[in-house]
Amino acid sequence: METFEEILEQYEPMISSIIRKLNIYKNYDSFRQTARIALWQAWLNFDEAKGKFSNYAYTTIKTTLLKEMTKENRYSDVQIAWERDDLTNAAHHYQMKNNTVQEVVLFEEIEELLTDDELALLLDLYFFGYSYEALAEKHGIAISTLKKRRQRLMEKIRKQLNE
């Protein structure tokens, strides 16, 4: 039988064809390498008495790639990538749940000081982490208006807490 390098060169078009048929576009190089390893395993395990090598190689490569795709999909389903904002919001939520008594008292003081709209703006900006753009769209007002409201709100809180 031929050397593996010759076999690999001969079967590269088959590998490309299988990858195209399986619509693999993510981690392309990784799947191509997996297919080459599958071809090598097929080359090692092939028994001429059982049929043609090309059929055995095709089946082995395709089966191996399908198994690898299943593993990747299971991993992707379990491992959800969190965006930075989501992580920040989760951290804030955790902090709020595990506050000290002093922080709760401070929050209650601020809550008594502010109107419902001002408190909602404060929570949207700092607790829920909305951007100015998202809040402007949500409330139907200009970003500059939101920034000015936040500035007045912060001045009001600082003034009251410093007294």
Q: What is the pLDDT of residue 64?
A: 95
pLDDT < 50 regions, the chain = none
Q: What is the pLDDT of residue 81?
A: 56
Kindly give the residue spans of alpha helices, DSSP state H, lying in 1-142.
Answer: 4-21, 28-45, 53-78, 84-97, 101-113, 116-122, 132-139
Question: Quick one: tokens of 50?
Answer: 């059982």
For residue range 61-81, what is the model confidence (pLDDT) as tens digits? 999 999 999 988 887 766 655
**Does residue 24 contact residue 63 with C-beta atoms inside 8 Å?**
no
3-class SS of residue 130: coil
